[in-house]
Amino acid sequence: MVVFDKPKALTDVPFHYCPGCTHGIVHRLVAEVIDEFGIEGKTVGIAPVGCSVFAYNYFNCDMIEAPHGRAPAVATGVKRAMPDNFVFTYQGDGDLAAIGTAETVHVGARGENITIIFINNAIYGMTGGQMAPTTLPGQYSTTSPYGRDLKLQGNPIRVCEMLATLDGTAYAERVAVDCVKNINNAKKAIRKAFEVQKNKLGFSIVEVLSTCPTNWGKTPQEALEWLRSDMMPFYPLGVYKDITVKEDK
Amino acid sequence: MSKKILMKGNEAIAEAAIKAGCRLFFGYPITPQTEVAETFAKRMPKVDGLCVQAESEIAAINMVLGAASTGKRVMTSSSSPGISLKSEGISYIVGSDLPCVIVNVQRGGPGLGGIQPSQADYYQATRALGHGDQHILVLAPASIQEIADLTMEAFDLSDIYRMPAMILADGALGQMMEPVDFEARTPREIPEKTWAACGHDGKRKHNIVNSLYIEPDELERTVIERFEKYKKIEKTEVKYEEYLTDDADIVVVAFGITARIAKSAVNAARKKGIKAGLFRPITLWPFPSERLNQLADSTKKFLAVELSMGQMVEDVKLATQFKKPVEFFGRTGGMMPSVNEVLENIEKYAE
């Protein structure tokens, strides 16, 4: 009996990610959800520009590679053309919250019935460790070599909190993939987001606090610890919007 | 039986697109093309289509990229400054071999420029619509009937060759009204879109729509393949119109609205005994270089007339390989030359 296997929605192409990077975990979770819903043949995924640009090689569903930051607009085009298909984007923090902020905010405002999987690792990974819109105050990067100075470089953006204010956002949750418990929670959140899309309730986003040991200059273990000690207090985990739950008055 | 309808150029673009089976329009308001989006907004709900107003030109062209990836017919429309914003997306669309139709109802530039008619985006359309080695099909109508015919043709061409096709119009054509017959044209045969990312339904391997080739040899190969396609298009898809060129001593070369002014000037010149003719490129890319080169053997001079400081004139020089002098007359910034001004230039250079 097979107790652990690669999800069918993932191809046999080996991931190119660095040791200790959490992209692989999140890819797997998305693929598991696609398998469980049985929707691989009805899903179109949008890969971003960034470390996960090659996501189109890893998922077995039809895939499109978008220009930097434009994945939500590309997803809108796909969804409007094929409203009964599942459409997800997979985007990093620079892609989603810097160059693609307008596209991100407006899929929320329109209530576009798509799902964004948002990888927040507080840094630009692919280009080699530059400051991201989510880089923490004081955090070192190659373009904030003395630590992020809020007077010079401005404040980080809390994406889920911001998008939760939009009427078209049906579901927004921040999760992490630093331990088994949180990974299970992340899976539940991704499942929920796809469920929201299935029921055509509007825009859904799952923000995943992730690690980048290579560009953080840490071992994989230290990176997980830093995610817990520094990122989580600034980016609290939790559900920021869920229109399927009636609020207690 | 077909019937003619009196219509604005901008409205005819939308009607022709619907006629061609386009049910998805993504746009952003900009003068002088706003009636394109307004016509779609009115008409799409009646034909089970969608007209989505994007948050920016950048978003609009990327929505086009997404919709085109599914294999559905899709278009966007804008005017000069908006086209500049779309150029990133257009380059990706070219690199991903996606079909779509892009309309540019040109206005004066650079910068915010003005809102009056212009042809100063000729370089942009034919040379540098996006980064990288690339071409797109560029069609330049000169009447509302031709706007309708070429819009439908643009959809067919872009599907056949898997590349964007642009309708390069101008503020005058967009705003003026003429009778138009939407039944005049016969649609072409379109290949099946087996490459589309529309959900594989378990029936095939996954399709990937992508413009990234990280290995240089692979990228070079895809670009060369695309340029082989361009060569074929340059042989088979060139369109132009000639008027009194057979015995012409001076051939006026003009496209779009300018060609109509030039035609009147050619008629006026003939009345004065000057053997003038008109050559009107309809496809700006592919440019009708071969025919112009032939004309250079029979005529004495060329006069390019444009609503710019002189852009197409360079293609005329390249096409005719300096066999005969190529002169230029243009107005820019939204100014239109009068028939008399063009006639004066024909007279000046015909001497």
Give me the DSSP letters along chain A.
--SS---TTB-SPPP-PPTT-SHHHHHHHHHHHHHHHT-GGGEEEEE-SSGGGGHHHHBSSEEEEPPTT-HHHHHHHHHHH-TTSEEEEEEEHHIIIIITHHHHHHHHHHT-S-EEEEEE-SSBTTTTSB--TTPPTT--BTTBTT---HHHH-PPP-HHHHHHTSTTEEEEEEEE-SSHHHHHHHHHHHHHHHHHHHTT--EEEEEEE---HHHHT--HHHHHHHIIIIIHHHS--EEEEETTSPPP-
Residue A81 identity: A
Cα-based torsion angle of the residue sequence A5, A6, A9, A13 in order, rounded to the nearest 10 degrees: -160
Q: Specify the pTM.
A: 0.97
C-alpha to C-alpha distances, B68 to A77, B90, B197, B199, nearest whole angstrom? 8, 12, 9, 14
Counting every residue, how long is chain A? Answer: 249
What is the domain partition of chain B in residue ranges? 5-193+224-236, 240-350
Whether residue B59 and residue A73 make contact (CB cut-off 8 A), yes or no, is yes
CATH class of B5-193+224-236: alpha beta
Whether residue B197 and residue A44 make contact (CB cut-off 8 A), yes or no, is yes
Distance from CA of B139 to the nearest CA of A (A): 25
Distance CA A37, CA B197 (A): 19
Q: Edge-to-edge strands of the sheet including A86-92?
A: A238-242, A169-176, A203-209, A115-120, A86-92, A43-47, A62-65, B208-209
Per-residue pLDDT tens listing for chain A (249 residues): 778 899 999 999 999 999 999 999 999 999 999 999 999 999 999 999 999 999 999 999 999 999 999 999 999 999 999 999 999 999 999 999 999 999 999 999 999 999 999 999 999 999 999 999 999 999 999 999 999 999 999 999 999 999 999 999 999 999 999 999 999 999 999 999 999 999 999 999 999 999 999 999 999 999 999 999 999 999 999 999 999 997 655
Domain-located, residue A249: no
Whether residue A66 and residue B52 make contact (CB cut-off 8 A), yes or no, is no
Domain-located, residue A145: yes
Of B55, B197, B199, the CB nearest to A41: B199
For chain B, the residues whose C-beta falls within 8 A of a C-beta of chain A are: 24, 26, 50, 52, 54-56, 58-60, 62-70, 72, 74, 88-89, 92, 96, 196-203, 206-212
Give every residue of chain B whose pLDDT is below 70, as ranges.
Answer: 1-2
CATH code of the domain covering residue A56: 3.40.50.970
User: A35 in contact with B at a CB cutoff of 8 Å?
Assistant: no
Give the tokens for residue B317. Answer: 């020089």
A162: phi then psi, degrees, rounded to nearest 5: -65, -50
Distance CA A129, CA A241 (A): 31
The residue range of the domain holding A58 is: 23-242
Q: Which fold has domain B240-350?
A: Rossmann fold (3.40.50)
Q: In the A/B pair of chains, how many CB contacts fall below 8 A? A: 137
Distance from chain centroid for Cα B17: 14
Contacts of B201 in chain A (CB under 8 A): 41-42
State the pLDDT at residue A248. 57
Distance from CA of B59 to the nearest CA of A (A): 5
Distance from CA of B63 to the nearest CA of A (A): 4
Distance from CA of A248 to the nearest CA of B (A): 35
Q: How many CA atoms lie within 13 A of B161 on its CB side?
A: 26
Please report the ipTM that was assigned to this predicted complex: 0.96
Q: How many CA atoms lie within 13 A of A217 on its CB side?
A: 7
Distance CA B143, CA B266 (A): 18
CB A80 within 8 Å of CB A73: no
User: A77 in contact with B at a CB cutoff of 8 Å?
Assistant: yes
Give A167's contacts (C-beta < 8 A, 6+ positions apart): A109, A111
Distance CA A89, CA A103 (A): 12
How many other C-beta atoms are found inside a 10 Å radius of the C-beta of residue B291? 16
Whether residue A44 and residue B69 make contact (CB cut-off 8 A), yes or no, is yes
State the pLDDT at residue B24. 98
Number of domain units in chain A: 1
CB B279 within 8 Å of CB B295: yes
Domain-located, residue A1: no
3-state DSSP assignment of residue B265: helix
b/e string for A29-62 if b means 16 or more Cβ within 10 A?
bbbbbbbebebbbbbbbbbbbbbbbbbbbbbbbb
Of B24, B62, B197, the CB nearest to A70: B62
Residue B55 identity: E
Whether residue A44 and residue B70 make contact (CB cut-off 8 A), yes or no, is yes
Residue A29 identity: L
- Do B5-193+224-236 and B240-350 fold alike per CATH? yes
User: A38 in contact with B at a CB cutoff of 8 Å?
Assistant: no
Burial class (CB in 10 A: 0-12, 13-18, 19+), A98: middle
pLDDT (tens digit per residue) in A196-226: 999 999 999 999 999 999 999 999 999 999 9
Pick from A52, A80, A114 the residue to mutate for testing the B interface (most B CBs within 10 Å): A80
Distance CA B85, CA A146 (A): 35
- Beta strand segments in chain B, E: 5-8, 24-27, 50-53, 74-78, 100-106, 137-139, 164-170, 177-180, 208-209, 240-243, 250-253, 276-281, 283-285, 301-306, 326-330
